[in-house]
């Protein structure tokens, strides 16, 4: 197992919040994950540029984490630098029908702000517990809506610290995908083009969705949300349940008894147990139904033996 990363002087890069060998479990909704070599928490654009310069100067690979709702950090942790875009990068403003939100803003929070301004189009986001940046990167969606339906543009930063504004078309959206999944860029801010709406009607609809989620999803236990993408013409949960896997446990990880496309942490689950359940579900569904289940969750870092 490699030794922990030795702290170095970050002052030349203008960084004010750096955390060495930082356990990742507290930063993910699964509450699972080994340590990152170094975590940088940027508080403004210049500190984000400083993080890019720091990574380049030290030859560090880098990973962006927002609300940690769609990631599984493996037990060996993450090599290189993690950039944590959270409440310190979460300004929101509404102007001329656009809702502009920084990448660390909770997507749920941004949606509720839109509703309070009687702006319609982001209601679907009230059920997506991630960050704005993560939602743009993966074209998050729910209740028949997706980011691609309402995104006007996104400002992104490359590894040299350059800012670029990408249009909806530039992002090449498809189901749970944007080109940012394959490009070394950080979402800084996104703007959503919304329409005037009836605030009371939107609140009523969102409450109905919330009640349905509460009755059908295991919201009281740590999870990442949906583990698998829905295959064309069917639902991953339906296939997993039909394969007899609902409730299956491995260590302290379990395919939820309430919703088969959720894997929950019963307390102290390890990433290796979650990965075993993921692979077992994929193999079983493939064998029984000849359907390939693709993961929606991002799997980051190294196995415990790799550190």
The pLDDT assigned to 5 comes to 76
Alpha carbon distance 274, 277 (integer Å): 5
296 is catalytic: yes
Extents of the domains making up the chain? 11-86, 90-202, 220-306
Q: What is the pTM of this model?
A: 0.92
Question: Residue 84 pairs with which residues in a beta bridge?
Answer: 65
Which fold would CATH assign to domain 90-202?
3.30.465
Q: What are the residues facing 19 on neighbouring strands?
A: 39
pLDDT at 3 over 80: no
Percent of the chain with pLDDT over 70: 98
Mean of pLDDT over the chain: 94
Q: Which fold has domain 11-86?
A: 3.30.43
pLDDT digits (tens, 9 = 90+) for 204-225: 999 999 999 999 999 999 999 9
* Residue 215 designated active-site: no
HEC assignment per residue over 216-250: HCCCCCCCCCCCECCCCCCCHHHHHHHCCCCCCEE
Per-residue pLDDT at 91 = 96
Q: Which of 49, 176, 250, 307 is catalytic?
A: 176
Q: Which residue has the higher pLDDT, 7 or 171?
A: 171
Catalytic site residue from 22, 47, 189, 296: 296
The CA-atom distances, in angstroms, between 123 and each of 44, 133, 168, 222 are 28, 17, 19, 24
**CA atoms of 192 and 171, how far apart (whole Å):** 14
Q: What is the average per-residue pLDDT within 38-63?
A: 96
Please state, in angstroms and as integers, the Cα–Cα distance from residue 296 to each residue in 53, 101, 181, 259, 261, following that order.
31, 24, 12, 15, 10
- Would you state the pLDDT for residue 305? 59
| Choice among 69, 178, 226, 256 that is catalytic | 226
State the CATH architecture for 220-306: Alpha-Beta Complex (3.90)
Q: Reply yes or no on whether the pLDDT at 2 is more than 70.
A: no
- State yes or no: is 213 an active-site residue: no
- State pLDDT tens for residues 88-105: 999 999 998 899 999 999
Q: What is the mean pLDDT of residues 108-137?
A: 95
């Amino acid at each position: 197992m490699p030794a922990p990363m030795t702290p170095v002087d970050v002052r030349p890069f203008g960084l004010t919040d750096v955390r060495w060998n930082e356990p990742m479990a507290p930063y993910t909704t699964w509450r699972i994950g080994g340590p990152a070599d170094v975590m940088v928490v940027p508080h403004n654009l210049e500190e984000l540029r400083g993080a890019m310069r720091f990574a380049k100067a030290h030859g560090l690979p880098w990973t962006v984490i927002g609300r940690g709702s769609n990631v599984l950090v493996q037990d060996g942790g993450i090599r290189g630098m993690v950039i944590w875009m959270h409440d310190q990068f979460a300004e929101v403003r509404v102007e001329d029908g656009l809702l502009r939100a920084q990448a660390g803003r909770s997507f749920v929070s941004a949606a509720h702000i839109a509703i309070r301004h009687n702006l319609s189009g982001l209601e679907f986001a009230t059920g997506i517990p991630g960050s704005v940046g993560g939602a743009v990167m993966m074209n998050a969606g729910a209740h028949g809506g997706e980011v691609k339906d309402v995104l006007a543009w996104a400002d992104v930063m490359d590894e040299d610290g350059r800012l670029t504004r990408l249009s909806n078309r530039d992002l090449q959206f498809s189901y749970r995908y944007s080109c940012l999944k394959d490009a070394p860029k950080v979402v800084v801010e996104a703007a959503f083009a919304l329409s005037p709406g009836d605030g009371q009607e939107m609140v009523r609809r969102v409450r109905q969705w919330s009640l349905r989620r509460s009755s059908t999803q295991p919201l009281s236990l740590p999870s990442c949300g949906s583990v698998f993408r829905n295959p064309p013409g069917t639902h991953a949960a339906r296939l997993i349940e039909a394969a007899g896997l609902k409730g299956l446990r491995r260590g302290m990880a379990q395919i939820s008894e309430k919703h088969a496309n959720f894997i929950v942490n019963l307390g102290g689950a390890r990433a290796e147990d979650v990965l075993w359940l993921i692979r077992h579900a994929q193999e079983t569904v493939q064998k029984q139904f000849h359907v390939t289940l693709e993961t929606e969750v991002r799997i980051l870092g190294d196995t415990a033996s790799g550190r």
